[in-house]
Amino acid sequence: MEREMIVRPRRLRTTAALRKMVRETRMDKSSLVYPMFVKDGENLKEEIPTMPGQYRYSVDRIGEILTEMADAGVTNIMLFGIPEHKDEVGSSAYACDGIIQKALERAKKEVPELFYIGDVCMCEYTSHGHCGILKGAYVDNDLTLEKLSQIAVSQVQAGADMVAPSDMMDGHILAIREGLDKKGYITTPIMSYAVKYASAFYGPFRDAAGSAPSFGDRKSYQMDYHNRREGMKEALLDVEEGADILMVKPAMSYLDMVREIKDATDLPMAAYSVSGEYAMVKAAAKLGYVDEAAILCEMAACAYRAGVDIYMTYYAKEIAQYMEEGRIG
């Protein structure tokens, strides 16, 4: 005797309203972070050749993009600096008149309602392009920790609401947490680039920020993309050291790590859709190979489905618009 089919999953896919009602992954604009580049100089808005539609702004013009983001409902901004002066120890990164420090002070005055995140690293500021203090050709981990703490403190003093160390030094979260606490910034959160792989997807960013290493690579501190257990180890160490938010970088090719870490910890989960992801979509869309809007919506939804709570993307304004329209979210 044939059984009547009573379980029909397609029932819940019959109309757009029903599909949206039962949607499992929810997202909103408050979870988006827009990464932007600030450069020493005056009256500058330079398009980045490898990232069409993205710009380097001088401090006197950052109000334009900040207001644009605020109007779009994107309330979180990550700042990356491009200094005029670079040296062996990246002193512009922690100077009180450094590019990020000036940008934060200006941003807080012009668009104070936004939430500002300072990227804590040294690669944009060192003459050699590595993310720490060199001892010979090797980045000295422990000497670098002191500088990272100085950078974080200086950014918070200038107005940063949160700091995000991206250097991948051992012990960096604890060093920064202790440095902030000693200065009385016990409520300032740390978003750790906990699982940051040595990735070819960073290429356009290094062009944008002028941060490519002058010799060698960063594989002695950024992670081998073959490794999963190592990523979990890094994340759990950062939890022990006091991280408040964990990040996986890049996003698109590493969503397996997002899911694993999300399941293993109780901290909010961030992912950074990096410059290479942005550039690939832009290039393919320009050639007519893909539907740009459809692709970026799918990329974002997949990240949130994997467990992302906070999504860093150069497409933040566009995704906010699509959320507003109900295309995703």
Residues assigned a catalytic role: 196, 249
Secondary structure, 3-state, 193-242? EEEEECCHHHHHHHHHHCCCCCCCCCCCCCECCCCCHHHHHHHHHHHHHC
CA 308 to chain centre: 12
Q: Is residue 250 within a helix (H) or strand (E), and if so which, with residue range?
A: none
Q: What letter would DSSP give residue 126?
A: B
What would the two tokens of residue 308 be?
């992302």
Cα–Cα distance between 81 and 166 in angstroms, integer? 13
In this structure, what are the phi and psi dihedrals at residue 187, rounded to the nearest 5 degrees? -95, 0
Beta strand 138-140 pairing with 76-82? unpaired
247, β-bridge pairs: 270
Q: Would you list the DSSP string of 141-200?
A: HHHHHHHHHHHHHHHHHHT-SEEEE-S--TTHHHHHHHHHHHTT-TT--BEEEEEEB--G
Q: Is residue 137 within a helix (H) or strand (E), and if so which, with residue range?
A: none
Beta strand 45-48 pairing with 32-39? unpaired
Asked if 124 and 211 touch (Cβ cutoff 8 Å), the reply is yes
